[in-house]
Structure 1
Amino acid sequence: MQSKGGTVSHQQQMGATIRAARCARRMTQAQLGHSCGYSASAISRIENGVLRPGDQPLRLIARTLNLPLDVVRSPRPDTLAADVTAAQEDAMLRRQLLAAGMAAAGVSVLPSTSAAATPHDASARIVGALYEPEASAPTSLQELGRSLATARTHFTAARYRALGESLPSLLGTAQATRDELSGRPREDAHAHVSRAWVLATELALKSHSDVAWPAADRALAAAQASGHPVVHGEAARVLAITMRRAGRPSAAVDLLRRTADSLERDGDQVSRAVAATLLMTAAYTAACDRRRSDAVDLMTDAADTVRRLPGAEAGPRTPLFTVDATSTQVDLYWIGVHTALGTPDEAIAHAARISPGRLPTVERQARFGTDCARMWHHLGDHRRTFAALRFTERVAPEEVRRPALQALTADLLYAPVSIPGARELAARTGVTS
């Protein structure tokens, strides 16, 4: 994102401003483009500083993003050092946007030197792994499996910075190992490569980064080469989430349904457990598309599949790679489904049945806090929204710095009632100082 002279150009600043605001509003490039007559690829070129929008489209972009036109047209002309990364530039510009939106409340923003870890910072490392992979020496499948298990532990513990730091080396080693093997060992290495890219996609999705697309594509390609149906299901799940985020929910639901049907026909317990997670993801995707009947039917099918699994109440005998299939997980997904459908009151009973300690990982506990925060936010209960965000912060400090949760925290600053501790939470999580 740097000009030939080593500084960020005005056009690049404008593009980064638009991208930061779009991500903060959880919009896809396709959705923003639809509002102003551009394609998703054109929005991508605008955000990368390659294409300059005309005056009328720029007005429509500003209106869609609920930003003053002058903030988009004339972002603050800070000169950035040549070694500043794209992720740091985006973080700086997001703070500028927050400054414009919160000036009336007398809130100051974090200085650009803040070094707090965020999923966005960590996901930026995936770009290098995609296009300039580390030169790595192959290793044994056993050692590769141990490295992958460590990376998975970082994800499930919501240690996104550590995961982002480990992924480039893991992906380089996994791909080098695969390239040295043949036959069945090569297929096993393909499975390890796929799961490493699944983690990379999950990390990118946490920050609503567009790099999730190529990462998910790499995961699926490696999964197909592995010939392992469970690994294929894991890759299909993250690809479908990426499709949903890109404004293609119907295609995502179709992919998840087909893959789940194939896994259930396999008959293996682990395959059926993965199929249940795909059905839950499909249900949430359909809910986001406001397809109530499909969402309810898919969740019902998922719940039935989980009930038929041994040990679904106490926990699966064979933990899955990212999301497990248990009755508690079903309740967790129901919260998100009902909230997305606009019936958050129906989610309360499911939330009440969940003991966060029974969720198997910190990442899932944080998801519970996140979904409850959204549920209470939709119900207009600001104090319980704050309590859910505080719970998320306690169990997973990096999770609460995600753009979506920062937006919820920012909303609390404008709540019609005073929320003790809201401003302090906003400062701790990078929303304000």
Structure 2
Amino acid sequence: MNPRDIGAIIRAARCAQRMTQAQLGRTCGYSASAISRVEGGTLRLSEQSLLLMTRTLGIPVDAIRASRPATLAPDMTLDQEDAMRRRQLLLAGMAATGASMIPSSAFAATRPDSSTQIVRALYEPESSASISLRQLRQFLAEAHSQFTAAQYQDLGEALPGLLGTAQATRDAMSGRSREEAQAQVARAWILATELALKQHSDVAWPAADRALAAAQASGDPVVEGEAARVLAITMRRAGRPAAGVDLLRRTAGSLAQNRDTVSRAVGATLLMTAAYTAACGRRRSDALDLMTGAADAVARLSGTSTQPRERLFTVDATAAQADLYWIGVHTALGTPDEAVPYAARIVPGQLPTVERRARYGTDCARMWQRLGDHRRTLEALRFTEQVAPEELRRPALRALTAELLYAPVTVAGVREFAERTGAPPQ
């Protein structure tokens, strides 16, 4: 099997085991950069090292040593057969580690969902031509606009092409231009992670891993902070909130040492995410301390002389964003009554993007649901539907609608809402 196929299987298994490249390297006697080259297909392992790595990751040796089929179907080209073989090997390797990233029908759907698109970008990247950095930045800006506009289906369809082009552009460059292209690659993977997180898909972990590796290669601390944020969210979703908080706290502290306002603003957003992550882990004291620190950092940034000139790639470091995170923190801590004043002072129309306005509706729906106010829960869900219909397809929102549908007290209009938004029956 060629090194690229082996590398793809190793990366898939490592991510399924929730291991970093550094952790895998320590168990096998390699550096993190060497593991990166193995996974990229540019470093060939010795037979002994390959066996050690497969044992560490729980990959069956047969998945690595599988041979080419002797014959092809009459209408199948070599390229098609190679693609099919890679799919089968990846599925076999990931199934052996207990991963759930690729559903059994992932490659059979006539119109694949976004998670399947990300899987294809991860393990079967499109062959793309390089473009200029200016064109790449424009391409990325368009994809980012799709995310902030909550156009998730369109973004999912654009991601494989964006990622393939970004990586081809990076590979064609050297020096400072290559580092800048690495930053664009990282941000493309950040978008892929954000999209996977919206769908509660396990593919978020390998996407976040790619984002952080590219961000570190770019040498840009701001982009590294952005990548750390989405990786920490995947840690929280994987049941490791403490590790996510530690990563965010360290990265925010590093960014705070920089004097530029963009670094400080990104650091403030990391503290917000850390506060919510701590709240989800029921670490009340940490959550409140981190959120207070985030709000203080935002207050220091307020004013035209210190605010970043452009919106951040992640959430913005503003008072409204801090209030939005306060809602989530108090709701996660089981004190939704303390979230109500923060919700009351937010003007949804003044939030900068559709995605953020939808987040406001979602967080308010959770808050009212925890308070037992079913009527206001439905109102908040309807608001979310109005500003961003695709948000209602998210598993978390569908589950919330189902809970409302089968609540002891029936709210007028909830059944019609559930039917319209496709909430699953319980």
Give me the TM-score of the superposition, normalised by structure 2: 0.74
8 Å Cα contact 2:398/2:424 also seen in 1: no
2:374 equivalent among 382, 394, 413: 382
SS state at 1:368 partner: helix
8 Å Cα contact 2:301/2:307 also seen in 1: no
Q: For the residues of structure 2 that align with 1:264 and 1:314, how far apart are their CA atoms?
A: 14
After superposition, give the CA deviation of every residue in 1:217-236 in whole Å (9 maximum; x if it has no partner). Answer: 00000000000011000000
8 Å Cα contact 2:248/2:271 also seen in 1: yes
Q: For the residues of structure 1 that align with 2:107 and 2:381, how far apart are their CA atoms?
A: 24
8 Å Cα contact 1:313/1:328 also seen in 2: no
8 Å Cα contact 1:243/1:251 also seen in 2: yes
How much does 1:121 deviate?
2.1
2:242 equivalent among 238, 245, 250: 250
What's the counterpart of residue 140 of structure 2?
Answer: 148
8 Å Cα contact 1:134/1:169 also seen in 2: yes
1:329 equivalent among 321, 332, 340: 321
How much does 1:425 deviate?
1.5
How much does 1:430 deviate?
1.7
Structural mapping, 1:129-148, within 5 Å = 129-148=121-140
Structural mapping, 1:120-269, within 5 Å = 121-269=113-261
Q: For the residues of structure 2 that align with 1:365 and 1:164, how far apart are their CA atoms?
A: 21
How much does 1:358 deviate?
1.1
How much does 1:318 deviate?
2.1
Structural mapping, 1:273-352, within 5 Å = 273-311=265-303, 316-352=308-344
After superposition, the Cα gap between the structure-2 partners of 1:406 and 1:273, relative to the gap in structure 1 and judged at 3 Å, is same
Task: Point out where structure 2 has 5 or more consecutive residues left out of the alignment.
Answer: 1-15, 19-56, 60-90
1:412 equivalent among 379, 399, 404: 404
Higher RCO, Cα 8 Å, sep 6+? 1
After superposition, the Cα gap between the structure-2 partners of 1:29 and 1:421, relative to the gap in structure 1 and judged at 3 Å, is farther
What's the counterpart of residue 86 of structure 1?
Answer: 106
After superposition, the Cα gap between the structure-2 partners of 1:29 and 1:175, relative to the gap in structure 1 and judged at 3 Å, is closer
8 Å Cα contact 1:261/1:275 also seen in 2: yes
How many pairs align?
337
How much does 1:86 deviate?
2.3
8 Å Cα contact 1:311/1:317 also seen in 2: no
SS state at 2:422 partner: coil
After superposition, the Cα gap between the structure-2 partners of 1:184 and 1:333, relative to the gap in structure 1 and judged at 3 Å, is same
What's the counterpart of residue 34 of structure 1?
Answer: none
After superposition, the Cα gap between the structure-2 partners of 1:261 and 1:129, relative to the gap in structure 1 and judged at 3 Å, is same
Which letter maps to 2:235?
M
Structural mapping, 1:93-132, within 5 Å = 121-132=113-124
8 Å Cα contact 1:156/1:322 also seen in 2: no
Which range moved further: 259-268 or 410-419?
A: 410-419
1:272 equivalent among 264, 271, 276: 264
Q: For the residues of structure 2 that align with 1:216 and 1:427, how far apart are their CA atoms?
A: 34
After superposition, the Cα gap between the structure-2 partners of 1:376 and 1:314, relative to the gap in structure 1 and judged at 3 Å, is farther
**Identity over aligned residues, as a percent?**
70
How much does 1:41 deviate?
8.8
Q: For the residues of structure 2 that align with 1:157 and 1:315, how far apart are their CA atoms?
A: 23
After superposition, the Cα gap between the structure-2 partners of 1:29 and 1:187, relative to the gap in structure 1 and judged at 3 Å, is closer
> Is 1:371 aligned to 2:363, yes or no?
yes
Q: For the residues of structure 1 that align with 2:217 and 2:407, how far apart are their CA atoms?
A: 51
How much does 1:84 deviate?
8.9
Which letter maps to 1:394?
Q
After superposition, the Cα gap between the structure-2 partners of 1:187 and 1:200, relative to the gap in structure 1 and judged at 3 Å, is same
After superposition, give the CA deviation of every residue in 1:138-173 in whole Å (9 maximum; x if it has no partner). Answer: 000000000000000000000000000100000000
What's the counterpart of residue 361 of structure 1?
Answer: 353
After superposition, give the CA deviation of every residue in 1:158-203 in whole Å (9 maximum; x if it has no partner). Answer: 0000000100000000000000100100000000000000000000
SS state at 1:198 partner: helix
8 Å Cα contact 1:316/1:324 also seen in 2: no
Which letter maps to 1:400?
L
Which letter maps to 1:133?
P
Which letter maps to 1:128?
R
What's the counterpart of residue 74 of structure 2?
Answer: none
